[in-house]
Amino acid sequence: MVLLQISEPGQSPQPHQRKNAVGIDLGTTNSLVSVVRSGMPETIADQAGCHLLPSVVHYSTQGVDAVGQEALGFNVSDPLNTISSVKRLMGRGINDVLMLGDQLPYAFQQLDEGMPKIDTVHGLISPVQVSAEILRTLVNLAEQSLDVMLDGAVITVPAYFDEAQRQATKDAATLAGIKVLRLLNEPTAAAIAYGLDAEQEGIIAIYDLGGGTFDISILQLTRGVFEVLATGGDSALGGDDLDHAIAQWLRVQSGMNESLNPMEQRILLEAAKAAKEELTEIDHVNVAILEWEGSLTRSVMNGLIDDLVARTIRSCRRTMRDAGVSVDEIQNVVLVGGSTRSPLVRDKVSKFFGLQPMCSLDPDSVVALGAAIQADILVGNKSAGDMLLLDVIPLSLGIETMGGLTEKIIHRNATIPVSKAQEFTTFKDGQTAMVIHVLQGDRELVDDCRSLAKFELRGIPPMVAGAAKIRVTYQVDADGLLNVTARELTSNVESRIEVKPSYGLGETEITKMLQDSFSYARDDMQARALREQQVEADRMVEDLLTALAKDATSLLSEEEIQCLNLAIAELQKLRLETTEHRVLARKIEAVGKTSETFAARRMDASIKSALAGRSLEDIERG
């Protein structure tokens, strides 16, 4: 008799077969990817053993030239084409970007209503495209490490990210070819990592000070249920701002004027960042900037960043008020983000909450670890009943009413997923259409809130003013993304919209980018191969010219020198003219053979020089 394996509906016929999903912390300064192995989450390292991927992308004329640590090396030498801290630009308009002032050395262009694009040597680049390259690198790293294709990923976002910023993050994932299982708030991810490990129960605070954003979340943990009571923070305050405060002090001390060029800005910021990191461990550090040398003490640095850290504490106080809890009810405080390594931050957090913060897990990796645990559940490797997430929306969602007022339909800190409906009516007799203006924010006036979308409901039966009943329904999914429906109840005419904020990429733009990535894949590979051969040609020419300048007259005849110089000139000319990487590779090989005799003579001369004046007995004794 043959036995057939059967399964319950929705389950794999091989229930023991694991699916592969990862958690990704897409950070301002650094990003990480994490996976659950043998029941425990762990971050994935690259070949060099580094777990942190710098969130930096360098562009050349051919396109993406380097991502991560390699790209970081271009920060000072090519600042306009080395994009870092791009998370601060996600989902933001030109006015938001201009408010950052000289913190960003890039040249921006605003072509439409969307996010401003960065002008690079490769052309105009969207922040979404930059983030997509970082995400793609992380996924490739995970797939190489696991030796499998991924079934999905959980990507974390700051709890205070609004609709536009969340949608921009999801657009970046789509562009990178990632199946997003969930956008997960970073504080909630940290709670997952700590809560499951420590089986914690009660009310805890998650203090998350990353490179570009600050989040504070108050959570209730009860037997595997993570309920976010309230969340707050500042999406434009993070470790970058601490760096800029220190950099400004260094600029004044070193006598540099205010109008710095991009390279000087980078040098100043790198020096400030390095000093800040060193002062987490020691009380005094020497700083060298260009021709200036000085010192910075921890006490002076604390004075420079004190106001910024105080802003985070004020956010903590407001969020606790929203949650309806007092300081005495907080049982634990979890520190998240590399900036929480600062002694001043830890001291202020400890004094405000009256507790020693929890920091047993690496603050840089705790978010990624929590995301991996959630991904493992969502992909089906672990029962969803093991953990229930009750997340909240960060800002109220509303609709414009007469007089430019905002009527809130879903209030901030409402648990998601959530659906709320409210009825409205017409303003004029015989009105047959209505504009639905979707807003986000907690101010009373439309002008003080962010516009998310507008759409029209048409076909309303003509009635006297106030007779029509239009039900507007707002639905927020588990990722914090919004769908809006408007329906006239007597006629059942309906209109709906999936809110795609103007600062995200449109469907057509995403589709075109994806199609381009497939259509030009072969061209991109050839362009990369050509670039690699061009780099090799440049290296060979430089090495040969240096060697000729040093040893040509003593080791080569005049005819041999002319032959080598001719070969070098031909290689330089071909490097500029050819678009075929194979042609250039063959020329490099030919020049290498031409220079073999010269290389051998230089090696012989070097050996003779090293052995000069030594006897055979000396050599044998070593």
Using only the alpha carbons of the chain, give its radius of gyration: 30
Neighbours of 89 (CB within 10 A): 28
Sign of the Cα pseudo-torsion (28, 273, 139, 369, in order): negative
Closest CA to 183 of 504, 422, 404, 495: 504
CA distance 419 to 285: 54
E strands within 199-279? 202-209, 214-222, 225-234
- Please write down the long-range contacts of 516-519, taking CB distance under 8 Å and 24 or more positions apart: 517/175
Give yes or no: 382 in active site: no
Decide if 153 contacts 20 (C-beta within 8 A): no
Decide if 52 contacts 59 (C-beta within 8 A): no
Residue 417 preceded by cis peptide, ω within 30 = yes
Amino acid at 614: R
CA distance 375 to 34: 10
Burial class (CB in 10 A: 0-12, 13-18, 19+), 585: middle
* DSSP per-residue codes, 455-467: EEEE-PPP--TT-
Tokens of 603: 């090696």
Give yes or no: 186 in active site: yes
Burial class (CB in 10 A: 0-12, 13-18, 19+), 189: buried
Tokens of 261: 């060029």
Q: In what order do the strands lie in the sheet with 214-222?
A: 332-336, 202-209, 214-222, 225-234, 388-392, 415-416
The H or E element that residue 59 is part of is: strand 56-60
Amino acid at 386: D
Burial class (CB in 10 A: 0-12, 13-18, 19+), 424: middle
Tokens of 41: 């989450």
Of 87, 170, 273, 276, the active-site residue reads 87
In angstroms, how far is the first alpha carbon of the chain from the final one? 78
Give yes or no: 580 in active site: no
| Lookup result for tokens 């998370």 | 87
Give yes or no: 208 in active site: yes
Neighbours of 236 (CB within 10 A): 17
Of 65, 133, 171, 186, the active-site residue reads 186
Alpha-helical segments (H) within 100-199: 127-146, 163-175, 186-198
Of 65, 133, 171, 208, the active-site residue reads 208
For 531, phi and psi rounded to 5 degrees?
A: -60, -40
The H or E element that residue 54 is part of is: strand 53-54
Sign of the Cα pseudo-torsion (64, 66, 72, 73, in order): negative
The 3-class SS string of 138-152 reads HHHHHHHHHCCCCCE
Decide if 225 contacts 405 (C-beta within 8 A): no
Q: 569-581 b/e with 16+ CB inside 10 Å = b?
A: eebeebbeebeeb
Active site residues: 25, 87, 186, 208
